[in-house]
Amino acid sequence: MESALAARGLVKRFETVVAVAGIDLDVPAGSFYGLLGPNGAGKTTTLSMAVGLLRPDAGRVWVLGHDVWSDPSEAKALLGVLPDGVRLFDRLTGAELLAYHGLLRGMDPAVIDQRARELLDVLALASAGRTLVVDYSAGMKKKIGLACALLHAPRLLVLDEPFEAVDPVSAALIRDILQRYVAGGGTVIFSSHVMEVVERLCSHVAILADGAIKRVGTLDEVRGGRSLEDVFVEVVGGRTATGEELAWL
């Protein structure tokens, strides 16, 4: 089976810090892929390099067989991206923003209108009306960002922390949409440090720490009969309280 996203030997250095130290990644088409890691593990850096936002120091990335850095237009057309900690063009209203993304992707205006209306309805953003995205709440911003990523019906969705700062109701809605998208033949890769979400959604998991992949495989392979959280803490090298320290608590 062809990989929806494949990376070989990705390296990124920021000044003196090595953020990503040679990552190989294979995201099977049709999979729901979770990229787990503690803060600062290199998740955002990896995903940014995978979608063409950040030039890697070394390594190559392919989206459905198209090299992101040497054949960007083909690769990018197949991609939908929700970056984290990145502003949207937030001085537009929700509908305007969707129209902008749709036209940038070369979509037909009639299709944009129809899909934008549906997306705004489903994501409960239609009531925001002419409110500018900059005045949206954090959860609404995530939702409109997801809508922008979905609008052109990409084959691969790359989502950076899609559940960060999202309330439970919106999170359930986003989960629902993503599951439907995967069921329809799409591929999702997303980063998170919330075990429950990953455990509930993902078919494949990679655990990232210190810029390198520590464990990778299907969810069951990685778990090996234990809870994902236990595996994660063990791999990342966090400590579990023994009861000796902090006795004064």
Binding stretches for another protein (CB under 8 A): 15-16, 51-55, 72-73, 76-77, 79, 81, 83, 85-93, 95-96, 98-106, 109-110, 112-113, 116-117, 127-132, 134-135, 148
Compare residues 116 and 236 and give the one whose CB is closer to another protein. Answer: 116
**Which C-beta is closer to another protein: that of 97 or that of 222?**
97
Nearer to another protein, 75 or 231 (CB): 75
DSSP alpha helix (H) spans, 109-158: 109-122, 138-150
CB of 167 to another protein, least distance (A): 15
In the complex with another protein, which residue's Cβ is closer, 129 or 217? 129
Distance of CA 179 to the CA centre of its chain: 14
Closer CB to another protein, residue 116 or residue 228? 116
Rg, C-alpha atoms of the chain: 19
Q: What CA–CA distance (Å, rounded) separates 29 from 121?
A: 29
Report the alpha-carbon angle 9-15-16, nearest 5. Answer: 80
CB of 161 to another protein, least distance (A): 14
Distance of alpha carbon 115 from alpha carbon 109, whole angstroms: 10
* Nearest approach, Cβ of residue 216 and another protein (Å): 25
Q: For the CB of residue 36, give the shortest distance to another protein in the complex, in Å.
A: 22
DSSP string, 11-65: EEEETTEEEEEEEEEEEETT-EEEEE--TTSSHHHHHHHHHTSS--SEEEEEETT
* Smallest distance from another protein to CB 133, Å: 10
